[in-house]
Amino acid sequence: MHPGAIAALLPDKPAVIMASSGKVVTFRELDEESNRLAHLFRAAGLRPGDHIAFMLENHPLFLAVAWAAHRSGLYYTAISSRLKTDELAYIVDNCEARVFISSVALADVATSIADVTPKVELRLMLDGVAPGFASYEEAVAAHPVTPLDDECQGMDMLYSSGTTGRPKGVKPTLSQAPLDTPGALLQLIQFLFAPSADSVYLSTAPLYHAAPLRYCMSMQRMGVTLVVMERFDPEQALALIEKYGVTHSQWVPTMFIKMLKLPGEIRERYDLSSLTCAIHAAAPCPVPVKEQMIEWWGPIIHEYYAGTEGNCFLYVGSEDWLKHRGTVGRPLLGVTHICDEDGNELPPREHGTVYFADGPRFAYHGDEDKTKASQDPRGRGWTTLGDIGYVDEEGFLYLTDRRSYMIISGGVNIYPQEAENILSIHPKVADVAVFGIPDEEMGEQVKAVVQPVSMDLAGPGLEAELIEYCRSRLAPYKCPKSIDFREELPRQPTGKLYKRLLRDEYWPAKP
């Protein structure tokens, strides 16, 4: 199925409901809007295999733009609305986009890249115009609402978050299959989470991220109504579940933490009985947080581990997780291998780099070095997302940390995620990052940067309290020796932390 097929059966059914504005896009409107834009792409000379890029806030027409490219057989790159000029220009140029679409809300940064993105032939702006951009609404108005004669499947080409360096574009192979051909993700969603045309899906994160974009488009293939939050608010999320009878939803652990820190009377105010499936991913979830969520919502919480690269998919439901607390699941796609730095495979419960075999191969667009670095050193065709972890005797994977974040202090490997998990559940902590900083004697020492629930609490007293709190639950050498306080940490709305931005402040610049 696809939006056009749903529109033929249920034209007035909401395809998208915007959470704050209440704006509704029906399946008929989604189908017609995406068809108009698809015809515009063809009129502009784009053919299957060509590329567009778009940078939008969670906009009512975000998914219409994605569907237009998808049904045109194009590659499409959804770009973070939080990027600055240099970052945006790099992605638009690197992906070789011929069309770039943005909105008036993001006009300042969108217009700033014109001189450094010469491959772009057409620039369109929603909700108004800006220098160098044509009006999106006027441009599509002249085109028909009927499907293209050569309609076929395109594919997203998304960029990794850039939390450890330049974003990396993952360019898959286009199938150019008929539009109603089901993909692997759709089949996994149907098998694991069982949505139906009667389901309502709450999308809590920015749509430019891989999981929200791909899950929302997959849900729309089944006729599911999406409730899209413009930005996450913990109480509003609970209210939306009650208001719209949400059945399925997707979250990241920081959202769980924010909801759990709501006062009890607020958490108990809303009827969540319609919710049958809460999916989470994108970042490790501290064990106590997930325990509390299962206690609150029941065994409806599902976790998966995957990446934009598409080389693996691991899954665990609540019941298995309670038997293997801390796991991110067992593979449904790919075979897990844990290796040391030389590529030697390690036995269960030994920590090493996590590789996957027998999954789809991938390459980082235009970057052979990054592609090679993601492959195992022994040439067996295994690939990694850069995580460190271990497997237990039953094959469940446990993530320790990102390989690039490991701290080496006095020759001992320290994984900062352990201290982060402890500190994140302290009642006075809103957010936390742990990383290594220079130490003349030990090489590195453990540092924490904390966003307190109120900056009025920041100071030596809270620093001492948090260090002691961590030491009472974790080996002292794994705990921070000092803590700095910030009003906000550089975290994506998707839950990923730009830890490198914090870490670089404490390390001397390289010559």
DSSP result, 151-186: -B--EE--B---TTSS--BB--------TT---HHH
Helices 184-193 and 210-221 pack at an angle, to 10 degrees, of 80
- CA 145 to chain CA centroid, Å, is 32
pLDDT of 172 > 90? The answer is no
Say whether pLDDT at 184 is over 70: yes
- Mean pLDDT on 25-29: 98
Can you tell me the mean pLDDT for 366-391?
A: 88
Can you give the pLDDT at residue 511? 43
CATH annotation of 27-177: 3.40.50.980
**Contact of 51 with 157, CB cutoff 8 Å:** yes
- Joined together, the tokens standing for residue 78 give 């959804």
| Helices and strands of the chain, counted as H and E runs | 17, 24
Task: Compute the distance between CA of residue 291 and CA of residue 294 in angstroms, rounded to an integer.
Answer: 5
DSSP 361: P
Here the tokens at position 258 are: 């924010």
- Kindly report, as residue ranges, where domains of CATH 2.30.38.10 are found in the chain: 335-405
* Mean pLDDT confidence for 252-277: 94
Of 12, 1, 7, nearest in space to 34 by CA: 7
Beta-carbon contacts of 343 under 8 Å, excluding residues fewer than 6 positions away, are 376, 377, 378
How far apart are alpha carbons 281 and 291 in whole angstroms? 15
β-pair type (24-26, 14-18): antiparallel
CB contact set of 366 (below 8 Å; sequence gap of 6+): 94, 169
Q: What percent of the chain has pLDDT over 70?
A: 96
Mean pLDDT to the nearest integer, 259-280: 96
Angle between helices 287-297 and 253-260 in degrees, nearest 10: 60
Residues 270-301 pLDDT 10s: 999 999 999 998 777 888 899 999 999 999 99
Residue 163 has pLDDT above 70, yes or no: no
Amino acid in the structure at residue 90: Y
pTM to 2 decimal places: 0.84
Topology of domain 335-405, CATH: Luciferase; domain 3 (2.30.38)
Ranges for all domains in the chain classified under CATH 3.40.50.980: 27-177
Mean pLDDT across 136-156:
96
Say if residue 379 is exposed, middle or buried (CB neighbours under 10 Å; 0-12, 13-18, 19+): exposed
| Amino acid occupying residue 228 | V
pLDDT per position as a tens digit, 446-488: 999 999 999 999 999 999 999 999 999 888 889 999 999 999 9
**Does residue 379 surpass a pLDDT of 90?**
no
Residue 232: the pLDDT is 93
Q: What does the pLDDT read at residue 84?
A: 84
| Residue 262 pLDDT > 60 | yes
CATH number of the structural domain 407-506? 3.30.300.30
Burial tier of 459 (Cβ tally within 10 Å: 0-12, 13-18, 19+): exposed
pLDDT by residue (tens digit) across 28-67? Answer: 999 999 999 999 999 999 999 999 999 999 999 999 999 9
| Range name among 148-152, 249-253, 342-346, 412-416 with the lowest pLDDT average | 412-416
At 161 the pLDDT is 60
Report whether pLDDT(332) > 90.
yes
Distance CA 320, CA 315 (A): 10
Residue ranges of the chain assigned to CATH 3.30.300.30:
407-506
User: What is the pLDDT confidence band of residue 14, given thresholds at 50, 70 and 90?
Assistant: very high
